[in-house]
Amino acid sequence: MDALLHRFFKFLIPILAAIGFAGPANATSGENSGVILSATVSATSGSRDFKITLGTRTGSQIVQLNTLCPGQDFAYINVTDTNYDAVVKNIAAAITFKSTAYVYWTVDASGYCHITQLYY
């Protein structure tokens, strides 16, 4: 019986390790922060519905536009995303209070920043 268990675990452990370390190939994610400079709503549902840009300001002057993720200066969320309402409310509050927004994103298949979470 011990020999059987030893063989079982001998093959099971590498398989479980491979499964545990496997992740999405080419998925990029990260975080960026800044003041929300603009928020726009798309007319076409499901096509980057709500977009934001981040940057820094001095008074009413835009000092710098931040790159949100590799190659993009905006991030978006779609109406169909489960956390859409919460993210949009946080965006509105961050704009109202002129607070720094912290945006968590992933890069979608088209290379755009898709917002997964946002807080201020």
List pLDDT tens digits, range 97-119.
Answer: 989 999 999 999 999 999 999 99
- The per-residue pLDDT for 18 is 47
- Cα distance from N-terminal residue to C-terminal residue, the chain: 58
Q: Which domains does the chain have, with CATH numbers?
A: 29-119 (2.40.50)
Give the residue among 53, 55, 111, 105 at the shortest CA–CA distance from 83: 105
- The per-residue pLDDT for 24 is 45
- The per-residue pLDDT for 47 is 84
* Neighbouring C-beta atoms of residue 28, cutoff 10 Å: 13
pTM higher than 0.75, yes or no? no
Residues 6+ apart with CB under 8 A from 76: 48, 49, 50, 51, 52, 112, 113, 114, 115
Residues of the chain scoring pLDDT < 70: 1-27
Joined tokens for residue 78? 């779609």
